[in-house]
Amino acid sequence: MSVSRPAPEPPAGPEAQEHQRTYQVRTFGCQMNVHDSERISGLLEGAGYVPAEEGDADVVVFNTCAVRENADNKLYGNLGQLARVKESRPGMQIAVGGCLAQKDRDTIVAKAPFVDAVFGTHNIGALPALLERARHNDAAQLEILESLEVFPSTLPTKRDSVYSGWVSISVGCNNTCTFCIVPSLRGKERDRRPGEILAEVQALVDDGAIEVTLLGQNVNSYGVEFGDRGAFAKLLRACGSIEGLERVRFTSPHPAAFTDDVIDAMAETHNVMPQLHMPLQSGSDKVLKDMRRSYRSGKFLGILEKVRRQMPHAAISTDIIVGFPGETEEDFQATLDVVEQARFATAFTFQYSKRPGTPAAELPDQLPKAVVQERYERLTALQDRIAAEENAKQVGTTVEVMVTAAAGRKSEETGRLSGRSRDQRLVHFSVPDGAPVPRPGDLVTVPVTSAAAFHLVADPATPADYSLRRSRAGDAWDRSQADSCGVPAPAAEGAARAGVSLGMPALPPRR
């Protein structure tokens, strides 16, 4: 579909022919959106675009989320700011994709007629063609598919990090949670073949990554589509046989489908990290029923008990919604009780957001904002206390930290670097005088000297308290920096590509 509207003329003359068009991707939403944005970047670079280093880009792509109520306001606020920029920049283009585009379709073009392309969650690969058509036709291009065109992982990727990567194992969701709009936007669950997943993991490792995170709306229901309910545990174990892969994580599982074989695989596979994100949503069995979450608080706590029995030091995080329609003070107290028992390392807490098109939006007893806000503040105060107490238990221990490129807010002031421990805790650490400085992707072993609710601090007193292990991922970081500067860098040792040992049953091709 195209929508006619006046479009500024692109630059003309010799200077335009020499200009390589630049792009910028702005991402709102979950890890799935972040991974989709890597695909969008890969597609654009494959079409000849280059990242905008500074200033305004020739193409700005918004990859949107529709889960939260303020997603609409955030998008249109950003679009409004860019409208003025576009007026002064002939040839500039704006595209909107993702969940909000899938949901709102024509509304985006109606509210923002200066947008050049709108695409959905099922046809990311169409973006370069839509931009070209919009430029050629001087008309906005809207293309929304109702079912998946190609599995996103078959598209080219520009990864945000050389030392770690996302790997989608499935897309879509078969659950019917009353608060969630995701199934209607991303469709029914589609599972990738295990060999395809492991081949992508191997390719990431061959490129220098030492950490992968397996992604899906419900990762532990992986395999249901092709009739193997034990497939996710087998996939975790197969990741353990990939040489050079040091850290494996996954998100997000669903408590109703979480089985003991997955816990066994986590505990027995050397590179699966002692960290689990397990969405609770509510501690009230009544609210869970109203949410159409097919588990109850007792089962949830039972899963955590089993995990900790096999992995005593596992860090467990969660998602919680406050103020679901009909939630009473008694219901909310049940959530506080479960949080107190669960001892989460981290919790992502949200105030209930009424989303048109979801069953919960039509429920009676929608709660006043003031009530929801007050409960939210009580919950976050409780969780912050628990997180601080759990982190305080880490003081005096020694942790292995994978160094990241991102620095802490006070890094210039403190001189500390940052990274993630095996259980995914954020660690800010200092390098003792005279000790070697790590690169992003390298691993350091340091003593935890203090803690706060959201991070650990490690300040080794002497070089003897600090250990650095230079890694293949750090070598990959060096190469990426050299490539960006046009300077040749030596290849990492052992860079020859190895075959993939799948360790999983062969499956017939999908018809």
Look at residues 253, 328, 246 and name the one whose alpha carbon lies nearest to residue 283.
328
Encode pLDDT of 47-69 as tens digits.
Answer: 888 988 766 899 999 988 776 66
pLDDT at 5: 43
Could you report how far apart the first and last alpha carbons of the chain are, in Å?
A: 29
Please give the full DSSP string across 284-313, using - where no structure is assigned: -HHHHHHHT-S--HHHHHHHHHHHHHH-TT
pLDDT at residue 146, rounded to an integer: 62
pLDDT at 45: 87
Binding residues for [4Fe-4S] cluster, as ranges, are 30, 65, 99, 173, 177, 180
Name the binding residues. Answer: 30, 65, 99, 173, 177, 180
Could you please state the CATH topology (level 3) that the domain comprising 398-485 is classified under.
Answer: OB fold (Dihydrolipoamide Acetyltransferase, E2P) (2.40.50)
> 288-298, pLDDT tens digit by residue?
999 999 999 99
All CATH 3.80.30.20 domain ranges in the chain, comma separated:
153-392
Name the residue among 147, 151, 261 with its Cα closest to residue 199: 151
Q: CA-CA distances (angstroms) from residue 412 to 415, 443, 451, 463?
A: 5, 21, 19, 21
Residue intervals of the chain classified under CATH 3.40.50.12160 are: 2-143
This prediction has a pTM of 0.76
CATH C-level class of 153-392: alpha beta
At 19 the pLDDT is 66
Start-end of CATH 2.40.50 domains in the chain: 398-485
Strands 398-403, 275-277: pairing kind: unpaired
pLDDT of residue 97: 86
Q: What is the pLDDT of residue 510?
A: 40
**Ranges of the chain whose pLDDT falls below 70:** 1-19, 29, 54-55, 67-71, 146-159, 183-186, 483-511
- The highest-level CATH class for domain 2-143 is alpha beta
What pLDDT is attached to residue 147?
57
